């Protein structure tokens, strides 16, 4: 990135690299544990990312026990199973399709939004998918801000995971994220990115 481009951003170059330019999806991890304190710090940072109606539909299940890991790994795609089995921590990111029940507390100036906009389950699910995905992206950046690597995956049997971890039917898995310090040969080659002029137009 040019100096001029760096100067256009308030975040210093080292932080830009940490969060974006040099950050990668990790496929191997060291044995160094990820603590509950680190995860709470990550969440307490990224919870401020915006969602529509402040709905905050993201729900996180931390898979720490051997039993929990076994329950999860069996439903991961074959290529994702070894890294999910060995990562220091795995987080299942899900959307709460009944997020509207929290809206009177989360949107106190407009509590009627709960029934006015979200009484229909299909509308809630669509909104939860979009806003839960936003929060999942915030979470990945938060993991990087903690000096850790994230390995987000969507290669799994979603129906089976939902039945295994969310049998009440009110939550739907969005992604599974391996978390830890990157290990040996953690990265695939960097894939190309679209240039500014290929993405941005002005009207």
Regions of the chain with pLDDT less than 50: none
Quote the CA–CA distance of 87 and 90 in Å, as a whole number: 7
pTM: 0.94
Quote the CA–CA distance of 124 and 98 in Å, as a whole number: 7
In a domain, 145, yes or no: yes
pLDDT value at residue 3: 60
Residue 77 lies in domain: 23-182
In a domain, 15, yes or no: no
DSSP E strands in 13-88: the ranges are 58-63
In a domain, 8, yes or no: no
Can you read off the two tokens belonging to residue 38?
Answer: 């680190």
Quote the CA–CA distance of 180 and 87 in Å, as a whole number: 7
In a domain, 196, yes or no: no
In a domain, 103, yes or no: yes
Model pLDDT for residues 85-128, shown as the tens digit of each residue: 999 999 999 999 999 999 999 999 999 999 999 999 999 999 99
In a domain, 132, yes or no: yes
- Answer yes or no: are the C-beta atoms of 177 and 140 closer than 8 Å: yes
pLDDT value at residue 7: 80
Quote the CA–CA distance of 16 and 127 in Å, as a whole number: 30
- Answer yes or no: are the C-beta atoms of 176 and 85 closer than 8 Å: no
Quote the CA–CA distance of 118 and 75 in Å, as a whole number: 31
In a domain, 198, yes or no: no
Counted domains in the chain:
1
In a domain, 84, yes or no: yes
Coil, helix or strand for 194?
A: coil
Can you read off the two tokens belonging to residue 138?
Answer: 């915030």
- CATH code of the domain in which 98 resides: 3.40.109.10
Coil, helix or strand for 188?
A: coil
Residue 47, phi then psi, degrees to nearest 5? -65, -15
């Amino acid at each position: 990135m040019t100096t001029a481009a760096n100067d256009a951003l308030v975040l210093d170059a080292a932080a830009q690299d940490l969060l974006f330019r040099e950050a990668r999806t990790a496929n191997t991890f060291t044995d160094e544990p990820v603590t509950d304190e680190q995860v709470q710090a990550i969440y307490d940072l990224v919870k401020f990312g915006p969602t529509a109606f402040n709905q905050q539909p993201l729900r996180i299940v931390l898979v720490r026990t051997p039993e929990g890991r076994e329950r999860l790994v069996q439903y991961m795609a074959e290529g994702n199973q070894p890294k999910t089995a060995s990562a220091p921590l795995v987080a299942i990111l899900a959307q709460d399709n009944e997020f509207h029940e929290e809206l009177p507390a989360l949107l106190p100036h407009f509590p009627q939004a709960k029934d006015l906009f979200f009484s229909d389950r299909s509308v809630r699910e669509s909104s939860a998918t979009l806003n839960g995905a936003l929060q999942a992206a915030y979470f990945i950046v938060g993991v990087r801000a903690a000096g850790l690597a994230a390995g987000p995956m969507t290669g799994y049997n979603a129906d089976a995971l939902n039945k295994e971890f969310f049998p009440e039917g009110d939550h739907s898995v969005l992604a599974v994220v391996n978390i830890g310090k990157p290990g040996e040969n953690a990265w695939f080659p960097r894939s190309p990115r679209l240039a500014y002029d290929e993405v941005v137009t002005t009207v």
